[in-house]
Structure 1
């Protein structure tokens, strides 16, 4: 009797395994989409509308290289008026950032959301215009005096930096994504104008004495699918088939 029950149990176990295999094989097969995603930074675009001291625009792009790695880049232009207690200057220039993103998020089925970390190399070419300044007075008993107008431009300035990135991208409509990223910038080299330091660098944002800076962007982008690859199927499994 025990032997009979053992064989019956084994039969049902084998039947269940076969049934599960058949069900798994009958599941729909999905493919990962590969292509180019292009977008625009809404933060810089909207800031140009409400901040009279700022004008700028940034375009973003990434291209999927593998399941988790994406080549990424940003290109933009900025104009910023900086008003300090002792100095008033205007920065104008362009910048380019190139690097990669790594998607740490495990998507289900056909989802294409991202929780990414990445790295960029940033380069900017710009000019600084010294509009006016005050002579420093260590003993301002009679006041600091008025601003002295200069309007002198220093062109041909450059800056190089490394940028670490952390952000997200979420698909809200078919092929349409919104995203946010935070940036920590580390200056490698910069060329200062004669007589004063850079107060703002396009793409890098405000500069500080410790050579660190921060930034962020808020993007909307569109994905252009170019081709597809099997989702999560290894080469060995393909050979067996």
Structure 2
């Protein structure tokens, strides 16, 4: 949990600092350029780094978005996870793949040719996975010298699946030419959840830990590269409205 908090707050402050610095640098530019449209692809650095320091976790996630209009982006994430969870009564391993797809809406008013984002979005998530119950402890209401019995099982449940809706909020800022760093937080609720007989899906790849049955929370910290495909001239009325808004502030 300490590693998670450290990565989250570091990502927030880094993106805010870089975005403010870039905004100030571009304020004094005179002539706006055409806006670029294209595909941005990247990876989740949090999952990659966690795979190094957490021996019970292996994960990989690729991200992508495609700019449709000045404000709307198609977005998707695909990846896989393998996680062993060791709780007081249970030890189990979850393995599977996931896909999330949807859209983002950029609320940030960039100066001139900046391409930073402060966005909200929605995703629909799909995951297929397996659960393996490694061991469990038998509850003893009258333990002798605090002894408890641990039973090794090794029973595997395959063919499991889950689907969910996900609300997303995040930031993305350019640090080098066509290179962006960003983070997002995600609140999810399950739509379907195929559970094994006699067990529960306490962890779902792409959804993370299930809390109170149907709700989940997650975040990612990404680095991505933008592949420009074409440019579009901003309409005059959009330029005027943008300039008027900037001048009134």
Q: Answer whether TM exceeds 0.5 for this pair.
A: yes
The answer on whether the counterparts of 1:82 and 1:199 sit within 8 Å (CA) in structure 2 is: no
| CA displacement 1:38-88 (0-9 Å, x = unmatched) | 000000000000001100000000000000000000000000001111111
**Residue of structure 1 equivalent to 2:117:** 114
**Residue of structure 2 equivalent to 1:186:** 189
The answer on whether the counterparts of 2:139 and 2:148 sit within 8 Å (CA) in structure 1 is: no
The answer on whether the counterparts of 1:104 and 1:115 sit within 8 Å (CA) in structure 2 is: yes
Shift of 1:157: 0.2
Q: Distance in 2 between matches of 1:226 and 1:232?
A: 19
Q: Distance in 2 between matches of 1:144 and 1:71?
A: 55
* Equivalences for residues 119-198 of structure 1 within 5 A: 119-141=122-144, 143=146, 145-198=148-201
**Residue of structure 2 equivalent to 1:105:** 108
Q: Distance in 1 between matches of 2:60 and 2:94?
A: 14
Q: Distance in 1 between matches of 2:207 and 2:82?
A: 12
Residues 166, 32 of structure 1: CA spacing in aligned structure 2 closer, same or farther, 3 A cutoff? same
* Equivalences for residues 14-25 of structure 1 within 5 A: none
Shift of 1:234: 5.4
| CA displacement 1:71-121 (0-9 Å, x = unmatched) | 000000000001111111000000000000000000111000000000000
Q: Distance in 1 between matches of 2:145 and 2:158?
A: 36
**Residue of structure 1 equivalent to 2:216:** 213
**Residue of structure 2 equivalent to 1:41:** 44
**Residue of structure 2 equivalent to 1:8:** none
Q: Distance in 2 between matches of 1:28 and 1:205?
A: 46
Residues 47, 137 of structure 1: CA spacing in aligned structure 2 closer, same or farther, 3 A cutoff? same
Q: Distance in 2 between matches of 1:204 and 1:228?
A: 36
Which blocks of at least 5 consecutive residues in structure 2 are unaligned? 1-29, 241-249
**Residue of structure 2 equivalent to 1:77:** 80
SS of the equivalent of 1:134 reads: strand
Structure 1 moving runs of 4+ over 3 Å: 138-144, 232-235
Q: Distance in 2 between matches of 1:56 and 1:230?
A: 41
The answer on whether the counterparts of 1:136 and 1:144 sit within 8 Å (CA) in structure 2 is: no
| CA displacement 1:161-194 (0-9 Å, x = unmatched) | 1110000000000000000100001111111122
**Residue of structure 1 equivalent to 2:61:** 58
Shift of 1:137: 2.7
Q: Distance in 2 between matches of 1:157 and 1:142?
A: 40
SS of the equivalent of 2:236 reads: coil
The answer on whether the counterparts of 2:32 and 2:113 sit within 8 Å (CA) in structure 1 is: no
CA RMSD of aligned residues (A): 1.6
**Residue of structure 1 equivalent to 2:9:** none
Corresponding residue pairs, total: 210
Q: Distance in 1 between matches of 2:83 and 2:100?
A: 19
Shift of 1:144: 5.1
